[in-house]
Structure 1
């Protein structure tokens, strides 16, 4: 299904966002990605009836930070990572989603000044495995998003994430392939997806500058061509960032709008992806 991430508008979707959801449905979107960083299942549950009524499928976006970093040597912080990971699954269930996606493998924006150590890798594998087991018991899958080197240091490439997913060894865990991050870190769309595409269970469609699709440096013919060659039939979610969500600006380093309006970006993105998929 073709969807869009609501972080273009808000980090806390609420019932008051119904007009936005109706607009996205009218544009043709079948799915919305709901950010739920604070782990409040009751707020997610309040959105579910609206999404059901509008006929919108949904996935849940989550992330870990400094206080619940799975790679931390502090067992208390790792325990918080596990509990918050399980709470994300609870949020997904309350929302009516069956997939939790995002950089839940390590602290977003947290850096050590070096590459990952084997101990950090093993700690994250252990934490992710425990969350994955909980998710599996509830029929939920996880999609791990690798981030570029400026946003995290544990998983930066599709290859990194493929090795990590294999080490976790859970059938409900896969790779979130984001064209923005892959455009920076991977060797090329076709070679990468030919080698690791079988582990991809979610895709973010995102431009190099995080704005309007087709106006940046992403090689879209190569990206869509590789997805077609792979035979990928899973969810495709447009992800763009601007200045509407102030708390995101220092995290994703986006302080300008590479688009006219959020509504125009969403409309053009739907047309762009639909045109390139055929």
Structure 2
């Protein structure tokens, strides 16, 4: 696959139309100076996109918008996605989805993941808007899986480069859908449409050239070509590795806040400490490219000082 790499993100950060305030050492920044609900000029969008590539997740405070406006904003990054479950049920147009936690619906996303890795072409960007914020708790966390890769030893990086992991919607996702719907009828449809796929354990970012640990704790099944014990040991180590505060940022929601993140360079999780308080968010994603690892792309660490 050919790459069109973004300008070096190692250069000093400078913008003409937006202001960027970092909220974490590894990733995360608040954007001000533009309103994402308006018609962003090409220059404004280019700078927002540059900030996203640099900081991996960006936030706009208090910008409530309709579902249609959210999809329109998402379309600046490409084709808004049709959620795979919706596609199985016959949907032919992209839409937003609402995630509501309350006393009757326990939060289901309190694990590190990136979205729908069990399809051949997972999304590249996601947009999440707070609709109802709980009075306490219910934060969302993101971790930089580029920084996590960089922090591995050179020997570990050499060992895992080029490995593949099998991702599947079974059993975790299928079980969750069956429990939510009260029926297992959806499971064979999901299994037939999406039987599972192998993705690189280390993926090359198609715009920055950086390398990231492509993990999804609820979808990853095994390392291809390893024994069950070897696979469990390696994936267990890497899953524990990314679960370090130094790789993460955390956002406390107010209603109307908007988060936009790069699915190719981050994992995220919705913290479940607000239960049984109501938390409602609206999400959409943008179609991406099939994950790949390209050893010919020079290794571009995010922070050379952090390399052991």
TM-score (norm 2): 0.25
Higher relative contact order (CA 8 A, sep 6+): 2
Instruction: Decide which structure has greater helix share.
Output: 1
Q: Which has the larger Rg?
A: 2
TM-score, structure 1 normalization: 0.26
Which of the pair is proportionally richer in strand? 2
